[in-house]
A and B are shown apart, each in its own frame.
Chain A
Amino acid sequence: MSELPKVGIISCSGEDCPGGNISREATLRVLHNLRPDETATICLPLFLAGGEGERGFAKRFPTITVDGCGKMCAAIGTARFSNKPAVEINLEDYPDFISLKDEEKWHIQESSSDLVEKLSNDIASHVDELRNTWE
């Protein structure tokens, strides 16, 4: 019986857009609280700044990318330097995206807590699904 793999989660950090902060926060919640033993991560910029070891990340782990806007930097960067993500999440697909305020690129407001929770739970569900369908 093969061991279930950890699932990689790579978040955009979007310093200049509120979706980046939401993506980062939701990813951290999954990594630290929801699925700490089932997940791994790597800083997205390491794909460009690092070496072959870092670039093998999405080859070693089935990987979920979490992007804060439609530019999809995490998905594009992961595919460009490592491997095509198994799941690509785009925060713009969530109806609450349009309610985000510009200042939330630094500090998430209480009004966005539901969005963070929804995104966290969706990431966790994808983690479970990827592990359950692993062959």
Chain B
Amino acid sequence: MSDAKRVVIPCSGIGKAFGTVAREATYQLTKTGNGEDYRTICLPLLVAGDQKAINLLKQSRVYTIDGCPKKCATLCVERTGVDVAMEVVVPKILAKNTDHKPGSILDIGPNGVLLAKDIVNVILEEESDRDE
């Protein structure tokens, strides 16, 4: 894996369970077995125009996880002038494995956790391909 900083940003959308799944995937990616390789920042910092957060993005490889086609996380990053290395849209991942349909926004349930794992795997595979 290369030495570039990796930042993953979920949309955390408050209208759908997919927003919570995006959060869960970010948790798994930043905390579960991936050590110091990935970190996250608060997406609202970009809305508030926080320059420190924007500067971090400019030095990083940025992954976004969006819960709906409005792709807020991706667009917010792009509006800072930073390119997104990979954007993941949760419903597209679910379409590949419909057994992992999440529960509610307040409790995504075990299938939602599995869907989050699917997302993590997609990002790790992309990272692996990039390094080869």
List residues of chain A with CB under 8 Å of any chain B CB. 11-17, 20, 24-25, 27-29, 31-32, 41, 43-50, 71-74, 76-77, 80-81, 106-107
Q: Which residues of A contact B75 (CB under 8 A)?
A: 45, 48-49
Asked whether, in the complex, the Cβ of A71 is within 8 Å of the Cβ of B70, the reply is no
Contact residue among B13, B15, B19, B45 (Cβ-Cβ distance under 8 Å from A71)? B45
Cβ of A15 and Cβ of B72 under 8 Å apart? no
CB-based contact B79/A49 at 8 Å: yes
A16 touches B47 (CB 8 A): no
Q: Establish whether residues A45 and B76, one from each chain, have CB atoms under 8 Å apart when the complex forms.
A: yes
Question: B48 touches which one: A11, A41, A49, A71 (CB < 8 A)?
Answer: A71
Contact of B15 among A41, A74, A77 (CB under 8 A): A41
Given the known interface contacts A28-B106, A71-B48, A80-B48, the answer about A48 and B76 at a Cβ–Cβ threshold of 8 Å is yes
Chain B nearest CB: distance from A37 CB in Å? 17
B42 and A17 form a contact (CB under 8 A): yes
B120 within 8 A of A: no
